Structure 1
Amino acid sequence: MSPEDFVRAHTTIAHAPLVPEIALHLATEITPIWQATESWLAERNIEPPFWAFAWPGGQATARLLLDEPARVAGKRVLDFAAGCGIAAIGAARAGAVLVEAAEIDPLALAAVRLNAALNGVQVATPEGDVVGAPCRWDVILAGDVCYEAPMTAHILPWLRAMAAAGAEVLLADPGRAYLPRDGLQPLVRHAVPTTLELEDRMVRQVTIHRLLP
């Protein structure tokens, strides 16, 4: 089964509550999709199916771009750790001249491709880890990426280097434990409806920050 076929087989087309204008291939329940990916995890050493859900950070970022398209219109945009690609799709619909979605999980890349096609936009899905790559973007979107200490330690120095190289780095965080304490400029705040299957509350308050060098 191809990654695209796997995504189609284990999701339904749905809409995230904060961004109803974007359609996505999403899981309806958390346990079945986790169980369905066990063989993929064992055989390919990939991540759990984070791509099957529209997480609060991605929803808030997409909402910001659709409400304020001038932030990305005509610019080169990277959706880092893109998940389902909701922020990348928001950037494309807001008029970005180039949108790339970075993920290390082949199922996530397949989900992004399917979701982009579903919404009639172009999103490139380069393979491999972009951390350490030189800056080739004007705007970098990073939604909900500070949920684990190793992940944060791996990506944050590179994201700050991207900001120092001239990119605007927008970090959308719903109160994760490893968000840095300094070097952030808050821009906007969104209340994002969620579920108790995914979160410990029904609404997450997401702050979108500009990451400073």
Structure 2
Amino acid sequence: MPDYLNEDHFSVGSALTFPNVQSCMAVIATSTLHQGMAGFHATLLTTADEFMSVGRRMTGMLGGRIDRLFLVGNVAKRSVADAGDPRTVFGAPLRSTLREAFGYRGRITYEDTDAYRRSAAGSGVAVRTSRGAANNQLRIVYALPGAWNTGAGVPCSQFQFRVQSGNGAVRILPPRAVLHVECAMTAVTELNLAKLKHL
């Protein structure tokens, strides 16, 4: 059962779903020290300080070392005019911020889905990640607007965190149990992880 991550939420698990990614960005981290993965539903207004707090927490949740970092969503369109923090603008600023946040020196790869949400005003893509129990291979798929929908929430035992800023401070809210919301995808596109662009 995939963990369902709304904006500003992050968690660790063997399957994660990021619903309605429009101007947002799914940040997915994996580690050879952990069988699952960690994910963060970042927004255009996510600050570098928030990335730092979330990145350190996610890295710890994965055993202390990240081996891969993926971005899916509105990546290349993160401009100075849109992003609230110039340290999160596409290119060198975002790359530097994420590397510091996750203590990661490898390549950061991405898939930009901005064109798809612009072609369907008011709706974004849904992103789902999973790691196979048998071979631990990572799989990332997305569904275009109109090819996914959400159902009713049901209680589950999963816990997730939320990042929140205010009065100049960043807080990670205590983990809380969440309702599992089924995100049905009628058609998906699987990403070829070896052919993604490099940030």
Where on the TM-score scale, by shorter chain, does this alignment land: which range? Answer: 0.3 to 0.5
TM-score by length of 2: 0.34
Bigger RCO (CA 8 Å, 6+ sep): 2
TM-score by length of 1: 0.32
Indicate the structure with greater strand content: 2
